[in-house]
Structure 1
Amino acid sequence: MKIHRLGIWALLALAASLLVVSSSWAAAAPRKIVLVVPHRVFFTVALPVYVAQEKGFYKEGGLEVDAVFTKGGGENVQAVVSGDAQIGLGTGFFAVLSAFEKGAPVKIAAGEITGMDAFWYVLGNSSIRRLEDLAGKKIAFSRAGSSSHMAVLAIVDQVKAKGLQPPEPVSLGGLPDTFTGVRTGQADVGWSVPPFMLDRVEKGELRVLVRGPEIEALNAITMRVHFVNADFAAKQPEAVRAFFRAHQKAVEFMMDRPQESAKIWIRKAELKFPESAVLKTWEFYRKPQLALKPIRGIQTNIDEAVKFKFLKEPLGKAQIDRLIDLSFLP
């Protein structure tokens, strides 16, 4: 009987130890996040993901992050709203505002960039050499309501403020179509985002005319945001916090160590540009631009979203407070 009792206690002890081991394993199991990224190359969204993967920042936070590259905008929003993804990076403020107004479970959790990171260029032999030379010229943007459109309208206002004939905005679509449009005379000035076209700048084929920080009206406006599925954030707030801790570490790493980060970028994104041209990307960014908080120019974004029919009417304070939640940030 004594042996039988000892056997029972031994079994109970074994079961308890297995339960402890099982619980410990479950606690240590990485939390999975599906992340939608609007481009596999862009500096402000793709590179932080590559750096966080390469340097183990996600793993340090107990995360398993599956990055899915998309075309951005509505595709990002749809993936997060449906629950197929939990976090969307670098998405236009307007697209997230529109989804929120329609009742989608989204929260803006961080800013991606404040101010404009695109640049405007001319052909190397162009007579256009300064902002004032844009008077009466055709200047390209991608499509109506885009951040490049907002930037061009701001450039138009800057030229008008000098008492000059305003430039004519021209929608030419994406980067390849814009380059073709400039070469064929559809526009005098094209737009791009680093590192694209910087190899041609390096060769003298193109010349940078206007950099983002020179567009004064946009320097205090958060142009794109990172957002989360609100239901996921409510259920797993620590996972969201861990993600943004890792993301911030990655941004700080790449801004502080451009040489090492450029090598990661070239390898992971399979960039075909020379390293010297890739490194020129860092000349277009300042660390404060990439701060996750605060979100700046909220009312301006809302007003512009109404103007371009992304919103039916302006959001009230209570709605803004529900939409923007920076509590997940370090």
Structure 2
Amino acid sequence: MKRRDALRLIGATIPAIALSSSRVWAAEDKFKLAIGQRGNWENSVCELGQNAGFFKKQGITLELLYTEGGGQTQQAVIAGSADIGIGVGTYGVMGASAKGAPLKIIGSSMTGANDLYWYAKTESGIKTIKDAAGKTVAYSTNGSSTNLVVLGLQKTLGVKFTPTATGSPASTLTQVMSGQIDVGWASPPFGVKDIDAGRIRIVARGGEVPEFANQSVRVMIANAGAFEQRAEAYGRVMKAYREALDWLYSDPAALDAYAAWAGTDAALAKRVRDEFYPKKNLAPDTVNGLDKLMVDAVTYKYLPAPLQADQVKKLVVAGTGPLAP
């Protein structure tokens, strides 16, 4: 081989070597995730997806922290102790952003609120949420989607009660059974066995607030500074998330994985997925009903006024740029 041809071959090889090196470096991308409420179907995507290898395939390693609810999740992202927050109430995110919090909405976690329900002890005499007038009704944390739905139930049904933050489904059940709280909240599979055994009864569902049906009540958020530094890597996180979500709805082995993770059985896992979490409701790439969400956020005093178009464009980056499907 002539020296000129050899040099040409080496020159052609360098970009390939550089690309290979870049991919090796990308394999070390690590993200800290804060996720509200371990155990429910929606919040299983990242951990089960990581266990199944979808994030590794995209060169991503996740460090997962489960919180008491969307309010705690949001604070972790704002503080920079988490790069991504999953399952955060949309009202709270918009309100925090309007006050200057460094947040980006990178995806929708849940459209609609059919997965959430409220319950009372069977012997309490509370059979519907209207029977809870003047009583305490639980939500997880301030700014969470459960907070949003409790406010929506009051508005929709015209019932006045006392919304009360109670934390996780487990701590809420303890407070209900001990008489500290009149009406608790949960999402399946938590509490389903207690309902079937007759210890508690469902008195309201999130679906009773019709305005939420086509709204992204929970979103995925990123710390704005971290996102701006690693936008391409965030794009790979979302690609892995989509692949993991597809797997959860297509492979029977995913139901077994969820059942083991949530401490339940495969039959209940299938019931939870099919009855409470239609796949379309978990589609991440569009934040649905944003204009109506802003109007309600003003009504409930999360926002002083609807966000301006430039504020929305700055905040909501789901499905755009490096996050595009």
- TM-score, scaled relative to structure 2: 0.79
1:155: Cα distance to partner? 2.1
Of 14, 21, 38, which aligns to 1:26?
21
Q: Which residue in 1 is equivalent to 2:294?
A: 302
Equivalences for residues 81-100 of structure 1 within 5 A: 81=78, 83-100=80-97
Of 220, 223, 227, which aligns to 2:214?
220
Of 36, 54, 59, which aligns to 1:57?
54
Contact 1:115-1:219 at 8 Å conserved across structures:
yes
Q: What is the RMSD of the two structures over their aligned residues, measured on CA atoms? A: 3.5
Q: Which residue in 2 is equivalent to 1:190?
A: 184
Range that drifts further, 315-324 or 69-78: 69-78
CA gap 1:23/1:95 in 2 versus in 1, 3 angstroms: same
Q: Does 1:208 align with 2:202?
A: yes
Q: Which residue in 2 is equivalent to 1:3?
A: none
The 1-side partners of 2:48 and 2:241 are apart by 9
Of 280, 287, 292, which aligns to 2:284?
292
Q: Does 1:169 align with 2:162?
A: yes
1:278: Cα distance to partner? 4.2
Runs of 5+ in structure 1 lacking a partner? 1-5, 161-165
Amino acid at match of 1:46: N
- Structure (1 or 2) with the larger CA radius of gyration: 1
Q: Which residue in 1 is equivalent to 2:309?
A: 317
1:184: Cα distance to partner? 4.1
Amino acid at match of 2:146: S
How many aligned positions are there? 314
Secondary structure of the residue that 1:322 maps to in structure 2? helix
Contact 1:195-1:281 at 8 Å conserved across structures:
yes
The 2-side partners of 1:310 and 1:137 are apart by 24
Equivalences for residues 118-129 of structure 1 within 5 A: 118-125=116-123, 127-129=125-127
Contact 1:36-1:69 at 8 Å conserved across structures:
yes
Contact 1:93-1:224 at 8 Å conserved across structures:
yes
Amino acid at match of 1:147: S
Q: Which residue in 1 is equivalent to 2:108?
A: 111
CA gap 1:214/1:256 in 2 versus in 1, 3 angstroms: farther
1:215: Cα distance to partner? 2.5
Q: Which residue in 1 is equivalent to 2:272?
A: 281
Q: Which residue in 2 is equivalent to 1:163?
A: none
Contact 1:33-1:86 at 8 Å conserved across structures:
no
The 1-side partners of 2:308 and 2:41 are apart by 30
Secondary structure of the residue that 1:108 maps to in structure 2? strand
1:119: Cα distance to partner? 0.7
The 1-side partners of 2:313 and 2:166 are apart by 34
Q: Which residue in 2 is equivalent to 1:36?
A: 33
- TM-score, scaled relative to structure 1: 0.78
Amino acid at match of 1:239: A
Secondary structure of the residue that 1:227 maps to in structure 2? strand
**Seq. identity, %:** 26
The 2-side partners of 1:129 and 1:75 are apart by 31
Deviation track 1:53-108 (CA, whole Å, cap 9, x = no partner) reads: 13322233x32222221425455445444555433222222443244234344221
Secondary structure of the residue that 2:222 maps to in structure 1? strand
Amino acid at match of 1:252: D
Equivalences for residues 72-83 of structure 1 within 5 A: 72-73=69-70, 75-81=72-78, 83=80
Secondary structure of the residue that 1:196 maps to in structure 2? coil
1:38: Cα distance to partner? 1.8
Of 119, 135, 148, which aligns to 1:150?
148
CA gap 1:207/1:280 in 2 versus in 1, 3 angstroms: farther
CA gap 1:126/1:279 in 2 versus in 1, 3 angstroms: farther
Q: Does 1:47 align with 2:38?
A: no
1:286: Cα distance to partner? 1.5
CA gap 1:285/1:46 in 2 versus in 1, 3 angstroms: closer
Amino acid at match of 1:43: N
CA gap 1:172/1:228 in 2 versus in 1, 3 angstroms: closer
CA gap 1:89/1:239 in 2 versus in 1, 3 angstroms: same
The 2-side partners of 1:109 and 1:237 are apart by 10
Runs of 5+ in structure 2 lacking a partner? none
1:150: Cα distance to partner? 2.4
Amino acid at match of 2:22: A
The 2-side partners of 1:149 and 1:85 are apart by 22
